[in-house]
Amino acid sequence: MLTEAIATPSVSGQEDAVARFLTGWMSAHGFEAHIDAAGNAVGVRGDGPRTVVLLGHIDTVPGDIPVRVDEHGVLHGRGSVDAKGSFCTFVAAVAGLSDEALAQTRFVCVGATEEEVPSSKGAHFAAGRYAPDAVVIGEPSGWEGLTLGYKGRLVLHAAVSKPNFHTAGEGQSAGDDLTEAWFRVRGWAQERSVNAGIFGAVQATVQHIESATDGLTQTATGVFGLRLPPEVTPAQARAELRERLDGLATLDFRGDEVAVRHPKDSPLARALRLAIREAGGTPVFKLKTGTSDMNVVAPHWPVPTLAYGPGDSRLDHTPEERLPLDEYDRAVAVLRDALTRLARSWPTEDSGKM
């Protein structure tokens, strides 16, 4: 399943072929499976009163990496780490659950579309469709890693336009003004990050910058990316940056994502910690500086949540993306054990959730 999923291209917005493959595999292995209105590959097993949603994404960034398994048992290919590997881990783990676990819990595997682009189409659709009691997000953490939180995000598009003038004359060019805008954004980020660790800091980067003239008008445009800690919401960042950049450039803010951080002492986290230790590993809690579909669903699903999946996240989006198959197998076994433990831990009364 994993190798075929990786071999099926699924750049964001073009996930139909891999969704059809995955729903077909799930249908053949005990799931009720379908492709929903957002293009998500959905598989359901179990009919218990509690619901666990396992939300991964099946789209990838562009970049063709020839799919192969090398002599060391390592699978190379786009999406092997980010994050078809995680979603296939979910499906394989749930496919192997016992009748006892399935009688206590309903497991919903959602292979979401468009996670690698700002739309997060699949996660937004799922957030309004389910009311889970626990959530596992499919992102690479390593088989011993449990990710509890992700930073927020805000993207600033800045533009300057002014009449053209000779560069030997007095005054600032549009490019000068845009550069000053960037310096102010960076200064604001540094002030917001005093005595903060990496997860508590505001990270600011230039994503794009250019200037031009048609002989009459100068223009300069830039895109500045901001990674925000829980202490700084996108609304706060917008207000403070508008004040700081007032009159210097035209501002357009996009891609709002609020940071999220879940507690490490939840029934879900305990079940995974025990399963990792039982497999001979040492659980490691992580906080990520990027964003994921956890940011999208957290406001809608205030329940125990963490991200789990095999692979080294440092290989995300790189030409060297690859996943050791023995690590994949360990992650499947750990997750199956953890879901079994979680199913046994529920109180006996019906939660009333759908």
- Active-site residue numbers? 59, 115
Burial, 40: exposed, middle or buried (Cβ in 10 Å; 0-12, 13-18, 19+)? buried
- CB-based contacts of 280: which residues, under 8 Å, 6+ apart? none
Calculate the dihedral angle through the C-alpha atoms of 157, 163, 167, 172, rounding to the nearest 10 degrees. Answer: -50
**Helix 16-27 vs helix 84-95: crossing angle, to nearest 10:** 10
* Helical H segments across 60-218, by residue range: 84-95, 99-104, 121-127, 174-191
Long-range pairs, 183-191, Cβ under 8 A, ≥24? 184/244, 184/245, 184/248, 185/156, 185/224, 185/226, 185/241, 185/244, 185/245, 188/240, 188/241, 188/244, 189/226
The reply to whether omega before 83 is within 30° of 0 (cis) is yes
> For residues 31 and 179, what is the distance between their CA atoms, to the nearest angstrom?
55
> For residues 76 and 220, what is the distance between their CA atoms, to the nearest angstrom?
41
> For residues 214 and 219, what is the distance between their CA atoms, to the nearest angstrom?
9
> For residues 133 and 268, what is the distance between their CA atoms, to the nearest angstrom?
10
